[in-house]
Every structure is written in C-alpha cells, then in structure tokens.
Amino acid sequence: MRPMKGKHAAIATMVITLLGVGTNVRAQSDRPEDPWSVEVGIGWDNGIGGQANSSGIGTLNNQVVVITKNSYEDVYGTGLHLRFGGGYMLNGDTEARVTFTFQSLDADFVVPMGDLGVSNLYGQFSDYQSFGLDVGLRKYATLRPRLRAYGEGTIGIGFVDKIDVVLAAPGANFTTKANDFYDQSAAFTFGAAVGLDAQTQGKFGYFAQIGFRRVSGLAEVDDLIGTGLDNINDKSTRWTVPFIVGVRYKF
C-alpha cells in the first residue's frame, strides 16, 4: 500500500476531528437540560421470604427445648419503607443513582417458638430496623411526553439494629430475655424495581414503583451459645417487596 500523501492525510485528520466533535455534540445533546434530581419516597415493606429464626433442639433452664421456625412475616407485619436520594442523567435515558433507605417493622405479635419441657414456648421479638446505602442505575423509556416507565437495579450495604427476644414458657414458670438474639449487623443489599415517573410542567414530578429487595443474613447469636441453639439464625436473609410513591425534583 502506498504511503498517504500529506494532503490526503490532512483531509483524513479533519474528517476524523469533525466526526469526533459531532459525536461529542450528540452525546451532550442527549443529556437533559436538568441532569440532576432528588427524590423522596414512602411506602410499605412487604416480606416474602427469610426466617426470623430457624428450628433447633437444645437446652434452656436445664430442660430440653425444641424451637420451631418463624418467618419474618410470622413475627412482623407490613412495615414502613422510607427512601431519599438523588441521581444524575448520564444520557437521555440512563441515570446513575444513590439512595438512602430506612426500613422499620413493629413486632406486635407473640409467636409460638416451640416447647420447653412439657410447656409451650413463646417469643416476643423487638422491632426490626435497618438503614442502608444503595447505588445503582435506572433506565427510562418514554411512554408519553411527560410520562416515563423505568427499571432499576441497585446494590449496597444495610445496617440492621440488634434484635432481642423474650422467651416465655408459662407451664414451666420460665421467662428469659435473650439479649442480642441478633447482633447489630452490616448486611449486603440487592434490589430491582420497575416504576412510572410523571413529570409536571415545572421541575417537579411524581413516581410510583414496585420491586424486590434482599438483605443478607444477620450476625450470630451470642446468648444462646452452648445451648445447642446457636445456629437458629442461619437463614436470616430477608426478601421483601417494597411499594413506594414519592416526589421528584430536577435541577
């Protein structure tokens, strides 16, 4: 192949430069005029999987105890899901996001825990609360000029408060409080969601979404070590379906 002459090389350089500038202009034009956003949402935290405690056989109060499993849904009702965060549009339909999530569930139920000797055993758990930081990406699809659908995926870390439980066996005249039934834990979180984003004529908008969220297992039991029951938290990973509505502001 013959070497490219100087004139041809100059023309080729100009074409490549113009193409690069054109690509950069198109990329900038794809980005919205207000690429930043903040949003606040509130909703319900519906549990679908995970065990507050697993089953086991051991000894308490010098008596044989049989523990039966309880799901998070057995122990806790539907809880509060509060989130706030922000995002930056990388282009016209892709947004990088950072979100803070607070989950709180009241332990309003006394649940059957199994048997202690010849007596039934019951448990009263303390509340479940967690605070998490999630990062992820959201992809939008325009349905109408001011209405978009989106899907998002997130990963992060959640900090779950310690959980205590009071155990009581009325027939055996036995009551005990297992402090740190679960220790305060740093857990891995993973989530995905789909939703709708409706924009007003100004900078405000509204959104609604539903998805699922996973919080990994909690820290090991302390007070039950040596009783044969120290593994009853082996399946404490929690799965939920949060439904959230909120307000969004772009700037």
What are the φ/ψ torsions at residue 54 (nearest 5 degrees)? -90, 180
Beta-ladder partners of 139? 94, 151
What is the Cα–Cα distance from 208 to 242, expressed in whole angstroms?
11
228, pLDDT greater than 70: yes
pLDDT of residue 218: 87
How many H-runs (helices) and E-runs (strands) does the chain carry? Answer: 2, 16
| % of the chain exceeding 90 in pLDDT | 63
pLDDT bin (cut points 50, 70, 90) of residue 34 is confident
pLDDT tens digits for range 89-133 = 999 899 999 999 999 999 878 999 999 999 999 999 999 999 999
Q: Quote the pLDDT of residue 178.
A: 66
Structural domain spans, the chain: 1-30, 33-250
Q: Span 33-250: which CATH code? A: 2.40.160.20
pTM summary value: 0.79
